[in-house]
Amino acid sequence: MKKNSKLKLLINPFTHIAGSSALIIGLIIIAVTIFLAQMNGIVFDGVFDVHFAPLSLPQAFIVQGIAFVCLVIAMYLAGRIFSKSEVRFIDVAGTLALARAPFILAAIIGFLPSTKDGLALVKNFLFTQSITTEDMFGFLSFFIVTVIAIVWFVVLAYNAFKVSCNIKEPKNFIVFIVAIIISELIAFCINYFVVMKTFLLSSIVALMPSETPATPPAELKPINDIAIQVAECLKDKDYDCMSADFDEVMKKGFSKQVMESMNEQLDIAFGKFEGVGQEVKNSTEGEFRLVFVPCKLEKGSFNLQCTFNKENKVCGIFIRPAS
Amino acid sequence: MFPCNCPSCQSLLKVKSLKCENCGTEVLGLYELPLLARLSPAHQDFILKFMKNSGSLKDMSKELGLSYPTVRNLLDEIIDKINSYEKEF
């Protein structure tokens, strides 16, 4: 019986704790989760989203705050409309805050050295046609733990809604599903247009640059020099030199094996690396700055695109066709 | 638990006889069961505690070791039951 009651508490603690005490404990757990996750480039930018994204700590708090508020308001309004009982906002907010506790697992798993961003892994695989066992283990461990956290959260959120709003079954299940979907959509739209838009455009897709100035202004020289150095190091197959100015997410996602695979593929496709041009081109995408370094190989040429964040660290590398 | 329904056909029982243990007097009749008597022992206990706590759900939650919304939901459940019993009359 004791085992059953402990299991019941893990799935539905809200029969014993709700209101302001649940809210305080829940908010503390959320704050710690965001802080730990952001250290490894993990953010919670939706109701049940977990992504790798190079956001600052304030941005990570903002996106999660927006998502949480959307969820609470949607659930509270659903309770007010469909419940015959008194629905207190503090009960809805408190129980839903506590329901987010499982996401701390996703934050903690980020500390494993081999944890990998799935998107970076796919991009590497598409480019290099290879994937290491370490990369696969890292990705799978993150994926499995995240799925567990999300499923556990949904179960807790449902029980939180059931207790705090007291809507009879089966109506409560349908109302819950609709409310959570609506809150996720609203949170996604707000986060995308207010906070994440620039990040999404820069990090997911290869976009054509906007108009480039004829000569780079003086303030961009440091990142131009860094980009040329990255290309030179790629040519010399010097990984330590190449990754010297990578940000933390790039260092995790772009390993020595990936660089070696990239060089192999370039050898096959373009032949021997002959030289790196000095006439770079510049562009911007939101808060990110792009530098295109012309590279000449035996059988062709390409532009090496380096994406820089505000700290002048490389947060993305792409091979682009020579213009 | 105080029997409220017929074990044979599940119809609502009525009180036929009440006895005085002091003098042996027996009162016969056909009396309707009080509505509160039809509730389960757990619900009756809840109502007693509710009265003793002057109708404060907050105090009830502390006494029962349950959260406020859980106590409120229990109260709503009892209210629904009483309303259904009243409709039967």
A91/B contact by beta carbon, under 8 A: yes
Which residues in A lie closer than 8 A to residue B73 (C-beta atoms)? 85, 163, 166
- Check the CA dihedral A206-A208-A211-A215 and report its sign: positive
**Tokens 């609506």 map to which residue?**
A182
A166/B contact by beta carbon, under 8 A: yes
Q: Is residue A98 within 8 Å of A22, Cβ to Cβ?
A: yes
Question: Are B70 and A17 in contact (CB < 8 Å)?
Answer: no
Q: Is residue A50 within 8 Å of A42, Cβ to Cβ?
A: yes
Task: Name the A residues in 176-215 with CB < 8 Å from any B CB.
Answer: none
Please give the average per-residue pLDDT across A196-215, as a whole number. Answer: 44
The strand pairing partners of B27, in sequence order, are B18
pLDDT digits (tens, 9 = 90+) for A275-300: 898 888 888 887 888 899 999 988 88
Q: Which residues of B touch A (CB under 8 A)?
A: 65-70, 72-73, 76
Distance CA A204, CA A294 (A): 22
CA distance B64 to chain A (A): 9
A15/B contact by beta carbon, under 8 A: yes
Which of A76, A91, A162 is most worth mutating to test chain B (most B CB atoms within 10 A of its CB)?
A: A91
What pLDDT was estimated at residue A258? 79
Distance CA A262, CA A128 (A): 6
Higher pLDDT, A270 or A80: A80
Question: Are A18 and B67 in contact (CB < 8 Å)?
Answer: yes
Average pLDDT, chain A: 83
Which residue among B67, B72, B73 sits closest to A16, beta carbon to beta carbon? B67
Which residues in A lie closer than 8 A to residue B69 (C-beta atoms)? 14, 18-19, 88, 91, 95, 163-164, 166
Measured in degrees and rounded to the nearest 5, phi and psi for residue A4 equal: -60, -40
Distance CA A268, CA A308 (A): 28
DSSP assigned state of A168: P
Q: Are strands A273-276 and A288-297 parallel, antiparallel or unpaired?
A: antiparallel
Which residues in A lie closer than 8 A to residue B65 (C-beta atoms)? 16
Question: Are B72 and A166 in contact (CB < 8 Å)?
Answer: yes
Which residue among B66, B68, B76 sits closest to A91, beta carbon to beta carbon? B68
What pLDDT was estimated at residue A214? 45
Task: Indicate the burial class of A19 (C-beta count within 10 angstroms; 0-12, 13-18, 19 or more).
Answer: buried
Distance CA A181, CA A188 (A): 11
The strand pairing partners of B31, in sequence order, are B15
How many helices (H) and strands (E) chain B has is answered by: 3, 2
A16/B contact by beta carbon, under 8 A: yes
Please give the average per-residue pLDDT across A43-63, as a whole number. Answer: 85
CA distance A92 to chain B (A): 10
Chain centroid to CA A57: how far?
13
pLDDT at A138 over 80: no
DSSP assigned state of A191: I
Distance CA A38, CA A306 (A): 23
Q: Which residues contact A56 (CB under 8 A, 6 or more apart)?
A: A38
pLDDT at A212 over 90: no
Distance CA B29, CA A46 (A): 67
Distance CA B11, CA B31 (A): 15
Measured in degrees and rounded to the nearest 5, phi and psi for residue B31 equal: -105, 140
Q: Is residue A303 within 8 Å of A320, Cβ to Cβ?
A: yes
The strand pairing partners of A281, in sequence order, are A292
Average pLDDT, chain B: 89
pLDDT digits (tens, 9 = 90+) for B66-81: 999 999 999 999 999 9
Q: Is residue A97 within 8 Å of A26, Cβ to Cβ?
A: yes
Q: How many contacts, defined by CB atoms under 8 Å, are there between A and B?
A: 39
Question: Are B68 and A166 in contact (CB < 8 Å)?
Answer: no
Q: What is the percentage of chain A residues whose pLDDT exceeds 70?
A: 84
Angle, vertex CA A109, rays to CA A104 and CA A114, nearest 5: 165
Which residues in A lie closer than 8 A to residue B68 (C-beta atoms)? 18-19, 88, 91
What pLDDT was estimated at residue A126? 52
Which residue among A86, A88, A163 sits closest to B70, beta carbon to beta carbon? A163
Enter the ipTM.
0.78
Task: Indicate the burial class of A310 (C-beta count within 10 angstroms; 0-12, 13-18, 19 or more).
Answer: exposed
pTM of the model: 0.66
Angle, vertex CA A183, rays to CA A107 and CA A33, nearest 5: 15
Higher pLDDT, B56 or A220: B56
- The H or E element that residue A239 is part of is helix A239-242
Q: Is residue A277 within 8 Å of A295, Cβ to Cβ?
A: yes
pLDDT digits (tens, 9 = 90+) for A145-178: 999 999 999 999 999 999 999 998 889 999 999 9
